Chain A
Amino acid sequence: MSQKDIADFRTGLLKAGYVADAELGSALWLVTRLERPLLLEGDAGVGKTEIAKALAKVLDTKLIRLQCYEGLDVSSAVYEWNYQHQLLAIRSQEAGAEASAIFDPKYLLERPLLAAIRSDAAPVLLIDEIDRADEEFEAFLLEVLSDFQVSIPELGTLEAKSRPRVILTSNGTRQLSDALRRRCLYHYVDYPSFDKELQILRTRLPHLSVALARQIVGFVQDLRKVDLVKRPGIAETLDWAAALLQFGLDKLDQDPEALRATLVCLLKTREDTERLEEVELDRLVARAV
């Protein structure tokens, strides 16, 4: 890859609304070439899911998303037979309709994994918050990610028409298995630097004045250093900036009451709200201004 390839790729991501640093830009470029799943790990709210969305836009392909949760099983993740239609078909055959196979792909309900495998053009498959799924599902996923094929007993093995670009995200709430980690490329998504966060804010909210944007980012960056239960992510920064715009504030110290009212966008637990009282909101505002 040349520097130009990377630069072009990053520009593409920027056009798709995602500000990627050089490291992430190179990583994503390599993912598209190496055809291996990419595991993105990082705290909630640092923009992991957005990466997959932006990648789909850059590659001009569809994004298929599988949201993981405890208890996720094959019938929700891969496929399910549409048994109501199958029963109706049986009844209609009994009533004299032309006989046809019951286990036919037309009775198959595709769930995200099967949909990704059967897509003609390689989609971006986002397996979101894999750490929420059970270990059993993780083990099942290993097979899919190794061979990109799904076995359906009644139909046989369906192989991928095109190899999807797979992005897995994890908030690190539980440890993932070594086997899964080793099948993936890995990128750790950290909270953005001041400059990067400022650029994100300016990209997403072009109406925001530079001065206010700098104050917002300075405040949030300082706030992340406070020992909070839930540190504010980029999504929170964007929400807060939008709220400040709604209140018509030009500076953080313009209206303390309004500022305090907007903090609900940044602080999501009672403990954090109380802690900010302790560390003096005014001091953080003064530093940012």
Chain B
Amino acid sequence: MSSDLQLTRPEVVDTLTQRLLQFVHLARDNGYRVGVSEQLLVQQSIALIDPFSERQLRSLLRLILCSEKRDWHRFDELFNSFWHGERSRRQLKTAGTKGSALQLQTAADSHSKRNASSATQGDANQGEGEAEGAGQGYKEGASRSSSIEKVDFGSITDPEEMRRMEILIERLALNMRRRLSRRKQTSKRHGSVDLRRTMRRSLSTGGEPLALLRREARRRQPRMLLILDVSRSMSMYSFLMLRFARGIARIFRDVAVFAFHTHIVPITDALRQTSLARVRNSLNMLGSGWSGGTRIGESLNEFIQRYGSWLNSRTLTCILSDGYDTGDESQLETALADIKQRGRNLLWINPLWQREGYSPESRGMQVAMRFADQVAGAHNLETLRSLEPHFTRLA
């Protein structure tokens, strides 16, 4: 790559090693999952390539440092920013160290001094791509003070804060799966006889199956059914709830998400799309009349008629709504009774539930409280996190 280097070979190797180290740090600071083993691998494997071939160096570093699609797509930007001093479209975090001036491409010589420093201070969580990968946002959130846990979703006005919250919420949902399928107690119920294991064990008793081994019932994930209210009264919460639902939809296999205001639409496929922009587009197409009035009872009845097959003995139905209903109360009663009868459990999540000064006086909430196995709140991260025990208990 650089034919007119003025350095001796050992000096070049030393400087290159140092620069590689800086690049690895830069990658880590920008959300790449890079640890000591990746760092060592980079140093060991550099001998396999011609380090002065930009293409080879790029391939090697991309192969080792990337671990998901998001990393892959922004790698060129990171690489060019560091090795060529190109200005980045989005702001990158700087590596802790500033680079010395070994340039791998002569054309970039004039930019040598600002290689690492050209990547200006900023937040790597900006931009669409970052918003999709929620991991880093979660880590940042975890290290922040607990105050963010108590911020009411309805009080967030800063778009940046809102975006951060969306990431945290989606991450929270993503983390739920493992815990939901975790077994906390030994089952007292005996499963059917496991012939294969019984036969195998019988070898130690001369082929006589003295001990019957039983097949433990496989703990199946619950079928999750999320029904979101996206009417006007929920407008402060509905987008965050959609992100929560997106997290759930991405990790559970057996999940369906519906949104309703005056009628109900399935949105599972829209939420499952990998690109957040596509999710927004799909939801916009589905969402004619969003943030309008609410007819919970009619919407739920429509759900039962059209998508009622989703309800079975494994279904945990979660309705996210504040219960403000402009429709017929008796319809809501019929619908909830039906859902309760056909499904396993019904969890009603009302974002306002634990807010100070809230009392569930709306007719819809009064009906909901009669039928729901549990009513819970979700107006901030803390309350959203506390949904987990309800999920575990009801699932």
Give bound CA distance, A273 to B228, whole Å: 29
> Is B98's beta carbon under 8 Å from chain A?
no
Judging by beta carbons under 8 Å apart, are A87 and B207 in contact?
Answer: yes
Give bound CA distance, A41 to B72, whole Å: 10
Give bound CA distance, A175 to B252, whole Å: 11
Give bound CA distance, A187 to B178, whole Å: 27
Judging by beta carbons under 8 Å apart, are B69 and A185 in contact?
Answer: no
Give bound CA distance, A199 to B273, whole Å: 30
Residues of chain A within 8 A of B174, CB atoms compared:
175
A-B contact pairs, 25 of them (CB 8 A): A1-B48, A22-B55, A23-B62, A26-B59, A30-B45, A36-B41, A41-B68, A70-B253, A83-B196, A83-B200, A83-B203, A87-B202, A87-B203, A90-B203, A90-B207, A94-B206, A178-B67, A182-B33, A182-B38, A182-B67, A186-B67, A186-B68, A186-B72, A227-B278, A227-B282
> Is B344's beta carbon under 8 Å from chain A?
no
B159 CB to nearest A CB, Å: 26
Judging by beta carbons under 8 Å apart, are B250 and A174 in contact?
Answer: yes
Interface of B, helix, strand, loop or mixed by DSSP: helix
Give bound CA distance, A87 to B201, whole Å: 11
Judging by beta carbons under 8 Å apart, are A181 and B250 in contact?
Answer: no
Residues of chain A within 8 A of B64, CB atoms compared:
185
Give bound CA distance, A86 to B201, whole Å: 11
Beta-carbon nearest neighbor of A70 in chain B: B253
B56 CB to nearest A CB, Å: 6
> Is B298's beta carbon under 8 Å from chain A?
no
Residues of chain B within 8 A of A39, CB atoms compared:
67
In A95-113, the 8 Å CB interface with B consists of 102
* Known interface pairs A182-B37, A186-B63; A91-B207 also in contact (CB < 8 Å): yes
Judging by beta carbons under 8 Å apart, are A1 and B33 in contact?
Answer: no
Contact size class for B?
35 or more
B82 CB to nearest A CB, Å: 19
Binary contact readout A67-99 vs B (1 if CB under 8 angstroms, 0 otherwise): 000110001000001010011001100100000
Among B41, B45, B67, which residue has the most Cβ atoms of chain A within 10 A?
B67
Judging by beta carbons under 8 Å apart, are B50 and A87 in contact?
Answer: no
Among B38, B59, B60, B250, which residue has the most Cβ atoms of chain A within 10 A?
B59
> Is A284's beta carbon under 8 Å from chain B?
no
Residues of chain A within 8 A of B71, CB atoms compared:
186
Judging by beta carbons under 8 Å apart, are A30 and B67 in contact?
Answer: no
In B36-91, the 8 Å CB interface with A consists of 37-38, 41, 45, 48-50, 53, 55-56, 59-60, 62-64, 66-69, 71-73
Residues of chain A within 8 A of B38, CB atoms compared:
182
Inter-chain pairs besides A31-B63, A36-B41, 16 sampled, C-beta below 8 Å: A26-B55, A26-B59, A30-B49, A34-B41, A83-B196, A87-B203, A90-B206, A174-B251, A178-B67, A178-B135, A181-B33, A182-B37, A182-B38, A186-B71, A186-B72, A188-B69
> Is A33's beta carbon under 8 Å from chain B?
yes
* Known interface pairs A172-B274, A184-B67; A102-B55 also in contact (CB < 8 Å): no
Give bound CA distance, A39 to B37, whole Å: 17
CB < 8 Å: which of A75, A135, A182, A187 contacts B63?
A: A187
Beta-carbon nearest neighbor of A42 in chain B: B69
> Is B11's beta carbon under 8 Å from chain A?
no
Question: Which are the 3 A-B pairs with shortest beta-carbon distances?
Answer: A26-B59, A181-B67, A188-B72
> Is A3's beta carbon under 8 Å from chain B?
yes
Judging by beta carbons under 8 Å apart, are A188 and B55 in contact?
Answer: no
Beta-carbon nearest neighbor of B251 in chain A: A174
Interface positions of A (Cβ within 8 A of B): 1-3, 6, 22-23, 26-27, 30-31, 33-34, 36, 39, 41, 70-71, 75, 81, 83, 86-87, 90-91, 94, 102, 135, 172, 174-175, 178, 181-182, 184-188, 227, 229
In B220-248, the 8 Å CB interface with A consists of none
CB < 8 Å: which of B53, B200, B251 contacts A175?
A: B251
Judging by beta carbons under 8 Å apart, are A41 and B251 in contact?
Answer: no
* Known interface pairs A174-B250, A175-B250, A229-B269; A102-B203 also in contact (CB < 8 Å): yes
A125 CB to nearest B CB, Å: 18
Among A3, A6, A23, A188, which residue has the most Cβ atoms of chain B within 10 A?
A188
Residues of chain B within 8 A of A83, CB atoms compared:
196, 199-200, 203
> Is B191's beta carbon under 8 Å from chain A?
no
Give bound CA distance, A229 to B282, whole Å: 11
Give bound CA distance, A27 to B49, whole Å: 11
Give bound CA distance, A3 to B59, whole Å: 13
B51 CB to nearest A CB, Å: 11
Judging by beta carbons under 8 Å apart, are A30 and B63 in contact?
Answer: yes
Judging by beta carbons under 8 Å apart, are A172 and B69 in contact?
Answer: yes
> Is B127's beta carbon under 8 Å from chain A?
no
Residues of chain B within 8 A of A135, CB atoms compared:
177-178
Give bound CA distance, A36 to B33, whole Å: 16
